[in-house]
Structure 1
Amino acid sequence: MNGHTEASAAVAETNSGFLSWYDRLTNQERRTFWSCKIGYALDAMDTQFLSFVIPTLIATWGITKGQAGLIGTVTLLASAAGGWVAGILSDRIGRVRTLQLTILWFAFFTMLCGLAQNFEQLLIARGLMGFGFGGEWTAGAVLMGEVIRAKDRGKAVGMVQAGWALGWGMSALLFTVVFSLLPAAMAWRALFIIGVLPAIFVIFIRRFVSEPEIYERQKAQSAATGNEARFTDIFAPALITTTLRAALLTTGAQGGYYAITTWLPTFLATERHLTVMGTGGYLAVVIAGSYVGYLISAVLTDRLGRKLNFILFALGAMTIALTYTNLPMTDSVMLVLGFPLGFFASGVFSGMGAFLTELFPTRVRGSGQGFCYNFGRAIGALFPFLIGAVSQHMSLGHAIGAFAAAAYGVLILAALTLPETRGKQLES
């Protein structure tokens, strides 16, 4: 009878609604979910402001495209360092406290970007902003992964990841409003200054979000035994192969993403002479595809498993990249393809937070997750430069396709070698 009851409950749960997992959350879990999701959306909003104001900076300050690109590269490299440090801090001082610090950090330095008086000041402020931007993802992903029960972890952490698309949309909306109300020379500064607002959100986190129980138990155990975790433990014999393979997984995901998103607009505008690239309609389609991709991937990572979900989305992203760069298309076709572009390139990240959470023990979970994700970000940040260099000797389209295919190939190989962790109970 008990077996029949459990089986019926499992069937009912499988057939329940899209957000049935949310109904099972406690009040504390819901507060944690929303704090991480909103925090990540605000993180994305502040980060994406730069992409909208670069043309204005080129026009008003006379900076070159190379200098504009340098700002982007420095931001990514600083974010990789910030994510690495935040992972270590989250193991030392706590997930929630680290989340608070990183939000305050990126909000403050986003505001300073708006007060910069020259290129050098903007470069420094933006680099420091990136340090906090990278740290916020690490702290939030670890916190969320530890709070949510095993069977719902992929969905919950993936839907937190979907906050990126919401923040991207908010930045586009704010850009439109601010630049319609103010002259461009003032509007770009106002946009960055608005970026200080996420700091207010820290008050909510401080009051309503608590450290995960599993983390508190681990800290108490470490204090009692005097066996404090060290960052270097992720390179110990028991974990080093997991660490290296997980780092390759994230390198593939982020290298492919940067290869596509950085150079594809230039390729389509300069070599294919498509005009829709600069329209808000195309951007809206890509953002919508990204958000839906995050949501669908979040569900599938719990349904199909972490590894198969990574492989499916990597194959989809690889296919769409090769389609864009090798097949002729019109403006209208490219507009339609913007949806699957956003869907696959972004959706591949949905399962990342849950998977990395499950690969590492609690005592070094922040350190392991912070290192692996941000190692991938640092290496992936080099892809735009490498594509630009290689395109001197082959067509830009072929360079994009080759690097994207190689990156997603690395992701697939890494996924195949790593253990399946769906439904894994976290251990101290």
Structure 2
Amino acid sequence: MGCSEAAMDAPDSLDQEEQHLNANHLGDISCTTFNILAPIYKRLNSERRESDFREYWLSRNECILERLLHLKSSIICLQEFWVGNEELVGMYEKRLTDAGYVTYKLARTNNRGDGLLTAVHQNHFQVLNYKELLFNDFGDRVAQILHVKLVVHFSQKRSVDIEKEALIVNTHLLFPHNSSFCFPRLQQVYKILQYIRSYCEECQIPPVPIILCGDWNGSKKGHVYKFLRSQGFVSSYDIAHHYTDSDEDAHKWVSHLNHRGNLCGVDFIWLYNPNNHRKPMNQSFMEAVLGNIKSHLFKVSIEGTESLHLLKTSQKVRSYITYSQFSQTLTELGIPSHPLYGCSIEEIKALWDHVDTDRDGVIDFSHLDRTLNLHQLFWQREEDSEEPAWRETLPNISNNATTIGFNVKNAFLFPPEVERGIWPENYSLSDHAHLTVEFSLVRLQCY
């Protein structure tokens, strides 16, 4: 399937501030993602949390709501929303409902106390379906998926057979406490994309744009970022500011001051249009995991740790490893065989089969070395204009359909200092900045 695009009727130009704050004019929608720091996690000192003092958390969240209502975004995605407090939940739901939003909240599993809230403005979207994805892993993470239809009014000539649907996702990935957390984080993203694919197939949804919002708890240099890029998603903020995937641009902006005192850029609004190139998802995931393994091996070699099973053989003349050695190596690298926080037996076997291409039951060291090095080529951005042989798309129900897509018009972080990599001392809304992106509508001809 291929797509070509044409811009919708462009609105009259407005000054930059109005473009930030007003997406009501024809042809634009906007989206804000914000981790609002649940009061149960906000430390006032070594012993007390903000949740112990109603006047503190109430005042801060009233300020957050004022900021959100001032932005007037079409889509609002919040993380660390204190679902366990009825007063706070009621305040958000009433204020957002009064402003024209329909809201959906989802608690993390195992009574963690916080969760997600997604709000979409009824002037811009009609919600066709709402789904909740529970990862059921040791981080108790969840995701919300909204299937929406845009409320836009085109001329009769333009409106004929134009699909006006989209998918919106809100999530908050596991924090990478150490390098062993990389694999379950990749698993969480894989589950989201796999669920989207299954949903589109089951409901026979034509090609639609996808917006992934949230706190991804990882930077542009991580494997989660690279995996999403391989799946045709682009970071809206980086597109708006003409930043690339290069190391040079990896630290141009920040969005989080974490509990370790580190500044990092972790909040993203990802965009996928049906005309974007994407590698087969399972292959991408396997290569991402192999990249993770390579990073672990590199770290082990730097730290001077004893040789792992991957490098051990009972006889010096051996130049290969067996499946049992491979499995043991994953465990020693922090990727254990465990259904909740590691690889399942089926996943380890699938990874082995991905590398053992000749199916002889062993993997030559030379082949493994080539595999671990060649995976880096996979991350490189496609440079030529020809369509790559590995192009894959979401299921195409119609052989010839016109659908709406999104172009990134503008994006900004608040407070503005974080766009220069600086965290202002007087910022107190959260330990995260909020990210707002404005999109213009385009027509995509899919065939």
TM-score, normalising length from structure 2? 0.25
Higher RCO (CA 8 Å, separation ≥ 6 residues) = 1
Larger Rg: 2
Which structure carries more strand by proportion?
2
